[in-house]
Amino acid sequence: MYQCSKKERQTYPIRPHHGMCLAFFIGNGYSNGFTAHMQEMLELFTKGADVCLTVKADEICSACPNNCEGVCEAAEKVKNKELTFDEAAEKLKYFSYYKEAYSAVLGGLVGEYEIQESEGGLYVKKYGLKAFSPIAKGFPYSDYDDFGVSRSYGYKRQHLGHDMMGQIGTPVICIETGYVEALGWNQYGGWRVGIRSPDKKRYYYYAHLRQDYPYQAKLKEGDLVTAGDVIGYMGHTGYSTKENVNNIDTVHLHYGLELIFDEEWRESGHEIWVDCYNLTRFLYKNRSEVHKVKGTKEWKRTFDMKENYLQREKKQKEKLEKSDKK
């Protein structure tokens, strides 16, 4: 087993977006010194060095030519409107590559939204984290990083998702606002829902939903669902060509996140699936509060949320559909 050196056992401060930069690092940067330092840090982290998140200048910034005594000169100029963001990035040869990779994963998780602060109350405009944990607030679950472990049902393969163990009927929450792209039975996933982000770059897969009553009532393909909505209920269906069968031993939600840069890659053996363990831990801070709908098996979110540009798009789509029927 590899043994970390004394240097590697240090704790290194890292800004969250620099983790994404390291994940997609291809050997280029601001300068030769900066690139060499990035490579060194990537090797340290790969070997198990500890990190802590920070919003200040971090270990990556220490070798950046824009770093002036802990202050990013380029960021300050953008903040003070001395430069536009594009002007600050124009000398970065691979900026468009990193921007695409970064936005592909996190593009729909942060932004503007409106949410009720009391049940049935007025909407309040906010900016920040607008994605939710896939498990409703108040419902217990356990998990661990099981991405990539071996699976053998049907054929030998890797587990390309994240499992969250809990109780039958636990409300499953829509992580990011999007459109229902897949709904129904799958031999491996049992009753499952697939939701595509509005920019079509992210596909969320929720599987092994409850026997007999897997989904929120009236949910159908093409529906626009909002982050924080209840979309279904935890179960243990799947591993069967016959529908509505509980062949999974452990009650759990399997959810996966696929990045889609090219439609031709889908189901081609070249899919890009994300290890969601750390994302799940992060989203734990934002769990959707729900309540039981009397006289039904349904749960409903307590505080509604709106993303205005999507609501306008939905109304426009409905208007066009009505005009087509006339």
pLDDT at 127: 87
In this structure, the number of other CB atoms found within 10 A of the CB of residue 314 comes to 13
pLDDT at 2: 36
**Span 41-89, pLDDT tens digits:** 888 887 778 878 787 788 888 888 777 777 777 777 767 778 776 777 7
Q: Are residues 67 and 174 in the same domain?
A: no
**Span 120-148, pLDDT tens digits:** 899 999 988 999 999 999 999 999 999 99
pLDDT at 7: 46
Mapping DSSP to helix (H, G, I), strand (E, B) and coil, where does residue 258 land? strand
Indicate which CATH number applies to the domain containing 262: 2.70.70.10
Answer whether residue 114 is part of any domain.
no
Most distant CA atoms of the chain, gap in Å: 74
Residues 6+ apart with CB under 8 A from 289: 136, 137, 138, 301, 302, 303
Per-residue pLDDT of the chain (326 residues; tens, 9 = 90+): 333 444 445 788 888 778 767 776 777 777 788 888 888 888 888 777 887 878 778 888 888 877 777 777 777 776 777 877 677 776 666 667 667 777 777 788 888 899 998 888 999 999 889 999 999 999 999 999 999 999 989 888 899 999 999 999 999 999 999 999 999 999 999 999 999 999 899 999 999 999 999 999 999 999 999 999 999 999 999 999 999 999 999 999 999 999 988 888 777 777 889 999 989 999 998 999 999 999 999 999 999 999 866 665 666 666 666 666 66
Q: Are residues 148 and 292 in the same domain?
A: yes
Answer whether residue 259 is part of any domain.
yes
Answer whether residue 28 is part of any domain.
yes
Answer whether residue 212 is part of any domain.
yes
DSSP string, 115-160: EESSTT--EEEEEEE----SB-TT---EE---TT-EE-SSS-EE--
- pTM more than 0.85: no
Separation of alpha carbons 69 and 60, rounded Å: 14
Domain that holds residue 141: 130-325
Q: Are residues 94 and 163 in the same domain?
A: no
Answer whether residue 238 is part of any domain.
yes
Q: Please give the structure tokens belonging to residue 108.
A: 């729909």
Answer whether residue 315 is part of any domain.
yes
Answer whether residue 19 is part of any domain.
yes
